[in-house]
Amino acid sequence: MKAPSKIKISIIIVLIIAFFTVLNLSNFANEVKNFFYFISAPIQKTLWQAGINVADFFETIAEIRELEQKNRELELGRQELLARIALLRELKKENEILREALNIGLQQEFELIFAWVVSKDIFQDSILINKGFKHGLEKGMSVITQEKVLVGKISQVYRNFSRVILISNKDKVFPAKISEKDILGTIEGRGNLQMALGFIPHQEQVNQGDLIVTTVLDRVFPKGLLVGQVIEIEPGIGHFQQIRVKPIFNLEKIKAVFVISQ
Amino acid sequence: MFKKILILCLFFYFLTLFQNSFLVHFNIFNLIPNFVLISVVVIVIKEKAKDNLGFFSAFIAGFFLDVFSQNFIGWNILILIGIVIAVKILKKYLRPVFGLRKSAINLILN
């Protein structure tokens, strides 16, 4: 029984091989494949898309750590770029201020050191600038704005920073004159960004809006620097008028200053 | 029998499609598990020694694998039939061993 069974199986196998050989040699195999591709196309397409979606999902999960790392790197890069942009903006501003100062001719009159205002102390009428003795600053140097407006005087010098006492500080007293009238007086700081012009006799004609400038008598500040503007005149007690003066500089808007080194 | 063959045709058709269209996206080290082959082997293991369902499975599964592959039709059929024969022979020789072990376990438990 075994021998005929083996022969039968062998014949079947040979027949199958022959069948498939003929099938593949003729074009019929391609037709069969084409038929199955045609009827399976919609299912295949759906399964293919689903496979992509699911694989992407798992790939994303697997890459979360890598993405986190990349995200951190990008964030660092972004911060670095932001810092660079900020620096460039600062430089641009500095450049604009220097150009303005050059137009006024400040650089020709004085030897100036540019400085940024780092902080402001309105209660003590002082500001902190970002230049110190490392940059050649010394105590007593005058500080002005690019519009040739007197701001104050350096009171303390550190390595990289300096404290500037504003002209409105209570301790500040210096000679000044009313511009174009040659009326001499003294500017006295009253604190809280207020000043007074003292020692002006009653007979002198002073008007609101008159500008006050530094004089040659002052050994502290160079002459001709704008100090303030008269805002109120009162008769006062005694021989002198009481004149209230407001500083020309706007402390809220002041961002950069020049230190007169010589 | 006809019903079984029809179910096998549908089962292997969709399994082949699933394997070729869906599972290809989940290759690990460029390897994809061949579920069609695994199914054929499981069917052969589970069927009785006298049954021929394994051969039918091999033929149908091989046919669909060939249709959805670059191979000429018949290549996978022959391979799967060869595997079915090998499994059947293995089953024939291993059955007494497993049967003996099963009897021994039953004896101990009882």
d(CA A189, CA A169): 5
Asked whether residue A123 falls in the same domain as residue A247, the answer is: yes
Query: Is B10 at the interface with chain A, CB within 8 A?
Result: no
| pLDDT of A159 above 80 | yes
As a whole number, mean pLDDT of residues A130-157 equals 89
As a whole number, mean pLDDT of residues A87-103 equals 80
- A217: confidence class by pLDDT, cuts 50, 70, 90: confident
Instruction: Identify the pLDDT of residue A1.
Output: 44
A32 contacts B22? CB cut-off 8 A: no
Q: Please, what is the average pLDDT of chain B?
A: 82
> Cα(first)–Cα(last) distance of chain B, in Å?
39
CATH code: domain of residue A193: 2.40.10.340
d(CA A256, CA A146): 8
Instruction: Identify the pLDDT of residue A218.
Output: 63
Closest residue to B74, CB basis, from A20, A47, A54: A20
Is A94 domain-assigned?
no
pLDDT in tens, A35-78: 888 888 888 888 888 888 888 888 888 888 888 888 889 999 98
pLDDT in tens, B11-57: 999 999 898 888 877 777 767 788 999 999 999 988 887 888 888 89
Instruction: Identify the pLDDT of residue B36.
Output: 92
Nearest-CA distance B98 → chain A (Å): 26
Query: Is B77 at the interface with chain A, CB within 8 A?
Result: yes
Closest residue to A29, CB basis, from B26, B68, B73: B73
Number of domains in chain A: 2
> Regarding predicted confidence, which is higher, A59 or B58?
B58
Query: Is B27 at the interface with chain A, CB within 8 A?
Result: no
Task: Mention every residue, 6+ apart, whose C-beta is less than 8 A from residue B54.
Answer: B40, B43, B44, B47, B84, B87, B88
Q: C-alpha distances in angstroms, A212 versus A166, A184, A190, A243, B87? A: 16, 10, 16, 11, 112
As a whole number, mean pLDDT of residues A88-111 equals 77
| pLDDT of A2 above 60 | no
Asked whether residue A24 falls in the same domain as residue A121, the answer is: no
Task: Mention every residue, 6+ apart, whose C-beta is less than 8 A from residue A67.
Answer: A60
Instruction: Identify the pLDDT of residue B106.
Output: 57
By CB atoms closer than 10 A (0-12, 13-18, 19+), residue B34 is middle
Asked whether residue A127 falls in the same domain as residue A19, the answer is: no
| pLDDT of B109 above 60 | no
What Rg value do the Cα atoms of chain B yield, rounded? 17
Report domain extents, chain B.
2-109
Instruction: Identify the pLDDT of residue B3.
Output: 87
Asked whether residue A160 falls in the same domain as residue A48, the answer is: no
d(CA A123, CA A116): 20
Phi, psi for residue B49 in degrees, rounded to 5: -60, -35
Asked whether residue A38 falls in the same domain as residue A138, the answer is: no
CB A193 within 8 A of CB A125: yes
Query: Is B72 at the interface with chain A, CB within 8 A?
Result: yes
Q: Which residue of A has its CA nearest to B69?
A: A33
Asked whether residue A165 falls in the same domain as residue A222, the answer is: yes
Lowest-confidence pick of A78-82, A86-90, A228-232:
A86-90
Is A86 domain-assigned?
no
> Regarding predicted confidence, which is higher, B1 or B9?
B9
> Regarding predicted confidence, which is higher, A180 or A142?
A142
| Residue B74 Rama label (left phi>0; alpha psi -120 to 50; beta) | left
Residue-number span of the structural domain to which A210 is assigned:
111-262
For helices A2-25 and A28-62, the axis angle rounded to 10 degrees is: 90
Instruction: Identify the pLDDT of residue B58.
Output: 92
Question: Which residues of chain B does A60 touch, with a Cβ-Cβ cutoff of 8 Å?
Answer: none
Asked whether residue A132 falls in the same domain as residue A234, the answer is: yes
